[in-house]
Structure formats: structure tokens, C-alpha cells
């Protein structure tokens, strides 16, 4: 009688079981570095199970060696020289979480030059020097991974590069700075002005003592630069982004937006058009019922519009030690899986192979077309009709003209919502309206982003 061959009951031993651990050197052991070490130690079995090999921290560079020793213990070597880590012969991958753009560039390029993979959460470094860094990585056949640099706990880079790889991306829009989102939430919920909300954010540790990168929109622009490159296959164009922060935003506009059925969020928007790419960060009105308008506190969210998948949205923590560590270690797992793979078979640094990158122009802000909000201080409530008539004569496409609700210490204000209009035309109308006898002060304008198409 036919019988199947007797199979051994011993489990087959995977060749990967013999792969040596991925050896990590880390530069920086501050908030993110400490979180990375803790999570790597706490979840080492699960991480190894996913990576197919263990991941071991072998050396850390720190300014304060005594503090670092208290975090990593006796089994990890310490040095105060980051270049020692970057060039160490027993390191396979360098994790750079020290921040900054000057010395960090040198450390990362040194690591790449010595054939080491790099994982970084440093969005400023990549936005400013990414073109040079990625070119060096291609030359030396190593990976540079940076999920933690964009939206902390949200795996948006992986979503753009892999999950949405079949799609032509039309636009990406996100709340990608937790500090400013916290401030705007406080201004709306508690009626605080910008200064008071910022002070509260600083007291709670959400904002630095010098918050300029956050409140001026620079941090969000760094992240948007990376999102746009991965969405559209374009070079990193941080210097061409139009950036407006929330530091000049007034509480009255937060309240007036609410009256009109909107909430103000600091948005990073990258949109592909026939003429080029819009690359902009600005406070904008979002419909109050929209999911993006209900992202509060220090949380982040990114929405993507693509041709096949349609609208998708990604939500999660926008700050935090272990939240960022989650992304850093996910990158380490990806690096651990590269054993034996040729560089040409890996996921490209910016989602597209180098030969397929597009040299898309970045559009000037003056040519961007969106609906707008205008607040016009006037001399009396009756002037609302005068403003409406003037706008009709100017043929500015207007959706709504109303009188703002009365507020203590605030004179009469006329609120205007326009249909889509190019920024240059809107700015001209605002300047002309300021010069009109009906105006009692400067006209405030903000974009409206409906995020639905």
C-alpha cells in the first residue's frame, strides 16, 4: 500500500535563526533615545520575532555619561564622541536622535561612508540635507529610514511608500505639529489668546522655551517636505515651501471661525496640480464637522487623497518619548529584514526609484486657489451691507457675508467667506478694502480648506 514518507516531527530550523543580531549604535539618549532604549529592552522578544533576528544596542553617544549609564546600565558601551559611534566597526546601524542639522549631518554621512544603515527621527536634518544624505546612501548601498521624523506614532511614510504604492496621490494634508495643535485647542476651548495658550503649553512640556520652530510653522514645513517627496516622487523642496505660523493668530478669529461653522488648524498641505505642486503650511479654517477639525490637543492626523484608494486618514500621537520610539524601532525592524537583499530591491528612500523622480515645480503662494475667510473691522453694524455691496462690485466670488457676534471690547466686525479665489486676487481685495472709508482697521484673511475632494 502507498504511504507518504514519514515526516520528522522536529521543526525545520530556519536559516534566519543563525543570523547574528542587528547591532545598533545610538547618538543621543534624551527623550527619544531613552524611550527607544526602554521599548527595545521591554519588547525585545516580540521585536525579534517580527524582525527575524534580535536587535541589540551596543554603544551610545551622550553628553552626560553618568545620566546615560543610569538609563542603559552596564552592558552598553558609552562614549561622548558621536563620530566614534558612527564609525564603530561593531555597529550595523546608527540611530541618530540627537537633533540639529550641522553636526548631525556629519555623523550621518560618516556612518553612511562606513557602510552603516541609518535610522533618524530628525526631520530638520532630512528636510535641509536629505538630498545629499540619500544620494550618499544610494552610493554606498545602505538604507536611511525616518518614520519617526514626520508624524511620530503614525506610520504615514510606510503608508505612502508601500500601502498606497498603487495610487497616484492627489494631495496630502495634515496636522503635523502637536505643539501648535495643543495651543489652538486651548484658544478654542478656553477662549485663551495665543500668548496665554503658549504659556500653558510650555508649562506642560508641550512647547520648548524657544517655541519658534513650532509656532512659526517651520517644524511642520520640514515634515511636509518629506510627505510631499514620498507622495509625488519629487525632490525635497523645503526652501520653496510657503510657511505661515500661528504666532500672529488672534483669539477673535478662532471665535469667529466657530461662529461660521469652522475650526482653525495649522495645516501642512501638499497638492499636485497641472501647473505644479502646492507646498504650504498655514493656519486654515476647516469645517467643524470634518474629522480633521476634531483632532485636538497634541494629536496629529494626516489625510491622503489618491485615485484608487480615495480618501484615507491616519491619526495618532504627535509627540512623546515612547511614541517616537515606536517609529524608530519599526525602522530598525525594517533594517533587520534587509539581510541578503540587494539595494535595488529595497523600498526607495523617497518612495520612488531615483530614475523615476519628478522635477515638479513648486507653485508660488500667490497663485494658490482656495476659499478664504476675511474679517473686516467696521465702524458700525450697519456697514455689513456696504461691505457686501463693495465685494459685489469687485466681482469677488462671495459665499457669505455676515456680522460677527458681539464680544466684549471688540467693535463691529464683518465676516466674509469666499468661493475659491487665487491668493493674489484675495490679497489685492483685502488691501483695497482696508483703504475704504468703511474699514476701521486691518483686514484679516485666512485660507479655508474643505479637505473633501
Active-site hit among 186, 223, 265, 305: 223
Handedness of CA 21, 95, 202, 183 (dihedral sign): negative
Neighbouring residues of 333: CB distance < 8 A, sequence distance ≥ 6 = 47, 50, 51, 55
How many C-beta neighbours within 10 Å does residue 436 have? 14
Residue 123 appears among annotated catalytic residues: no
Task: List the catalytic residues.
Answer: 223
Amino acid at each position: 500500500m502507498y504511504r507518504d514518507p514519514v515526516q520528522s516531527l522536529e521543526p525545520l530550523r530556519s536559516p534566519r535563526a543563525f543570523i547574528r543580531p542587528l547591532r545598533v549604535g545610538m547618538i543621543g539618549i534624551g527623550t527619544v533615545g531613552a524611550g527607544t532604549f526602554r521599548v527595545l529592552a521591554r519588547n525585545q522578544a516580540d521585536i525579534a520575532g517580527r524582525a527575524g533576528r534580535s536587535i541589540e544596542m551596543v554603544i551610545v553617544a551622550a553628553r552626560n555619561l553618568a545620566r546615560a549609564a543610569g538609563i542603559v546600565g552596564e552592558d552598553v558601551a558609552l562614549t561622548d564622541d558621536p563620530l566614534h559611534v558612527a564609525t564603530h566597526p561593531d555597529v550595523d546601524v546608527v540611530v541618530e536622535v540627537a537633533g540639529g542639522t550641522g553636526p548631525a549631518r556629519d555623523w550621518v554621512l560618516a556612518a553612511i561612508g562606513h557602510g552603516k544603515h541609518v535610522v533618524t527621527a530628525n526631520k530638520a536634518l532630512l528636510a535641509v540635507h536629505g538630498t545629499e544624505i540619500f544620494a550618499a546612501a544610494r552610493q554606498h548601498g545602505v538604507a536611511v529610514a525616518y518614520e519617526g521624523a514626520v508624524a511620530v506614532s503614525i506610520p504615514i511614510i510606510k503608508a505612502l511608500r508601500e500601502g498606497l504604492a498603487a495610487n497616484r496621490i492627489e494631495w496630502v494634508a495634515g496636522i503635523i505639529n502637536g505643539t501648535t495643535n495643543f495651543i489652538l485647542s486651548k484658544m478654542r476651548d478656553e477662549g485663551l489668546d495665543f500668548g496665554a495658550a503658549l504659556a500653558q503649553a510650555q508649562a506642560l512640556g508641550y512647547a520648548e522655551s524657544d517655541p519658534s520652530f513650532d509656532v512659526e510653522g517651520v517644524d511642520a514645513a520640514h515634515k511636509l517636505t518629506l510627505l510631499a517627496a514620498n507622495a509625488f516622487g519629487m525632490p525635497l523642496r523645503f526652501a520653496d515651501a510657503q510657511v505661515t505660523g500661528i504666532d500672529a493668530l488672534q483669539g477673535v478669529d478662532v471665535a469667529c471661525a466657530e461662529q461660521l461653522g469652522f475650526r482653525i488648524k495649522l495645516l501642512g498641505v501638499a497638492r499636485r496640480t497641472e501647473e505644479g505642486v502646492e507646498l504650504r503650511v498655514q493656519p486654515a479654517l476647516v469645517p467643524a464637522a470634518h474629522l480633521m477639525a476634531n483632532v485636538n490637543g497634541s494629536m496629529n492626523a494626516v489625510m491622503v487623497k489618491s485615485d484608487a484608494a480615495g480618501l484615507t486618514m491616519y491619526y495618532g500621537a504627535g509627540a512623546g518619548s515612547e511614541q517616537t520610539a515606536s517609529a524608530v524601532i519599526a525602522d530598525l525592524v525594517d533594517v533587520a529584514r534587509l539581510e541578503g537583499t540587494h539595494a535595488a530591491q529595497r523600498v526607495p528612500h523617497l518612495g520612488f526609484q531615483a530614475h523615476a523622480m519628478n522635477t515638479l515645480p513648486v507653485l508660488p503662494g500667490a497663485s494658490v486657489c482656495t476659499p478664504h475667510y476675511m474679517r473686516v473691522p467696521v465702524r458700525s453694524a450697519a456697514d455689513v451691507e456696504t461691505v457686501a455691496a463693495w465685494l459685489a462690485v469687485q466681482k469677488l466670488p462671495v459665499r457669505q457675508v455676515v456680522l460677527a457676534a458681539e464680544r466684549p471690547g471688540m467693535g463691529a466686525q464683518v465676516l466674509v467667506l469666499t468661493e475659491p479665489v487665487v491668493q493674489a486676487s484675495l490679497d489685492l481685495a483685502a488691501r483695497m478694502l482696508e483703504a475704504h472709508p468703511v474699514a476701521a482697521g486691518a483686514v484679516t484673511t485666512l485660507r479655508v480648506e474643505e479637505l473633501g475632494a
